[in-house]
Structure 1
Amino acid sequence: MYGRKTPSTYRSTPSVYSHYTGKSSTNLRSTKSVRSLRVPWYQKPILHDAYFLDLQRGSLLTACFSVFVALFTFGESIFDLYCLGMAAPGSVHYGYYVISFQFVYVGSAPVRNMLIVFALFSWLGSLAVLVTGVLLIVALRKEYEKKIVPWLYAFGIFISFRFFAFLFGAIVNDMIFAYNIIMTLAWILFCAVGAYGWLLVYSLYLELSDLTKLEDLAHLRMGTMASLNASLAGSRPTTPHSTVSTMPASQI
């Protein structure tokens, strides 16, 4: 009629707003799906090889290195506690001693107490790293990724603690004595190699975890398909064409 739009004309011009919102909602859903598939950065393998060795052999060498560092720290901590006890301010000793305690810090009491605390906790940490290092060697040989986790926590905390411990000792101790210089240089090397080795083992742990998830998913899919086939075979109806007739031919 006159002055009124026909239904065909009214529906032939879609709304710009509806077209825009539909497109934006589609993009929003696709963006959310892409974001949901992204793996966090800490769950991605940081290293893929160990330069001259593969990731597994590099991790095995790191495990042996951690056991060596644990034994070294065990002996060093006991020696430091012994020296700090023997060179306590005001203590008097008689007799002949093989070593001189001039390299031991005898200044401020709070600083000396901090050195004792660092040595004591280093001794305890070395025991934890020693036990978890042996477990790590066994786990790497049999590829048990769950047994790698204790070493990751123990060695990560230990190497971070030892970094601050040797840095504090390098600041307060006199660097004119050979023992202090050797220990400082040794722990610079130990911390650098230990941090790199920790990254190797962590990367291998992530790869083994991903492989385990894929294997579990494959087993789950195979089990689901097997149960589905069994249920379909059990619920399939029998037809006259599928059954074998035992009736004699003369009676048919």
Structure 2
Amino acid sequence: MNYGRKTPSTYRSTPSVYSHITSRSQSNLHSQRSRSMKSVMVPWYQKPLLHNNKYLDIQRGAFIMGLFSIFVAIFTIGTAVFDIYCLALAAPGSSHYGYYIISYEFVYVGNVHVRNALMVAALFSLIGGLVVLVTSIMLVHALRKEYESKIVPWLWSFAIFTLFRLLAFLFFSIVNDLIFAYNILITLIWSVIIVASLYGWLMVYSLYLELADLTKLEDLAHLRMGTMQSLNASVAHSLAGSRPTTPHSTVSTMPVGDTKFI
């Protein structure tokens, strides 16, 4: 007899299915958990990239960016028209008499293909400036009313415009002589505009994501309220018609004409 250790009893005991977990079940649980976490995780580009802090207000910064984009559009239209005008009048082999807003005593002596590329860049900059001007006005109106759907055209148009102007700025600064004051000034101005445009676009995009999340929450709340109201109405209707002849009911389904008193 062993008095020091008590042997486990197996009388009338069944092993629990929850006490034994195989490695296969553990792997299935881990895979299901990881799969559910992946479905819940939000991609990085759908998260706000900038947040409010004591130095930055996203809503105010986005509104300032809308006004800044209007200025950029007007500035782009003006410089594009001026570049097209200068390149057209300074064509190789052309002669001018008198004054055409400014006196032309020079002609373009560079490569013809480079001149044509500058003309095309100025023309597309003019078109892009017009598009950005329209979408920027829409952006300012959308930010006042908090309509996130009307922010989308500006996000796409201004992103494409900024990328194109970055390439055009690099091309302009390489092929043009930076010994003239106009070329130096345009290069410095566009370097500042592009940096400010990138940061401003991130602010507007972050605000757009926040407004989109708020809209989803509001839609979910409205859906839940509508579902609860419909359920309450159906439950009240079923309770009112389930026991019409109970002592506590005020509605009787017994016909009045068939009532007999004994």
The TM-score, its normalising length taken from structure 2, stands at 0.84
Deviations 1:55-101 (A, max 9, x none): 11000000000000000000100000000001101111112466465
One-letter amino acid of the counterpart of residue 246, structure 2: P
Aligned residue in 2 for 1:240? 246
Residue-pair matches, total: 237
Question: After the TM superposition, which residues 1-252 of structure 1 pair with which residues of structure 2 at under 5 Å, given as runs?
Answer: 19-49=22-52, 52-96=55-99, 99=102, 105-236=108-239, 237-238=242-243, 240-244=246-250
Deviations 1:181-203 (A, max 9, x none): 00000000000000000000000
Deviations 1:165-184 (A, max 9, x none): 01100000000000000000
Instruction: Determine if contact 2:91/2:107 at 8 Å carries over to the other structure.
Output: no
Of Structure 1 and Structure 2, the greater helix share is in 1
Instruction: Determine if contact 1:64/1:137 at 8 Å carries over to the other structure.
Output: yes
**Cα deviation, residue 242, structure 1:** 2.6
SS of 2:125's partner is helix
Distance 1:232 1:27 in 2: 41
**Cα deviation, residue 51, structure 1:** 6.4
Distance 1:50 1:118 in 2: 39
Instruction: Determine if contact 2:51/2:206 at 8 Å carries over to the other structure.
Output: yes
Instruction: Determine if contact 1:50/1:200 at 8 Å carries over to the other structure.
Output: no
Distance 2:27 2:217 in 1: 35
Distance 2:57 2:148 in 1: 17
Distance 1:204 1:103, change over 3 A: farther
| Runs ≥4 residues deviating over 6 A | none
**Cα deviation, residue 123, structure 1:** 0.1
SS of 1:235's partner is helix
One-letter amino acid of the counterpart of residue 125, structure 1: G
Distance 1:82 1:173, change over 3 A: same
**Cα deviation, residue 244, structure 1:** 4.0
Instruction: Determine if contact 2:146/2:211 at 8 Å carries over to the other structure.
Output: yes
One-letter amino acid of the counterpart of residue 243, structure 1: S
One-letter amino acid of the counterpart of residue 24, structure 1: S
**Cα deviation, residue 23, structure 1:** 1.1
**Cα deviation, residue 53, structure 1:** 3.9
**Cα deviation, residue 27, structure 1:** 1.2
One-letter amino acid of the counterpart of residue 241, structure 1: P
One-letter amino acid of the counterpart of residue 209, structure 1: A
Aligned-CA RMSD value: 2.5
Instruction: Determine if contact 1:103/1:174 at 8 Å carries over to the other structure.
Output: no
Distance 1:78 1:104, change over 3 A: farther
Distance 1:245 1:96 in 2: 99
The TM-score, its normalising length taken from structure 1, stands at 0.87
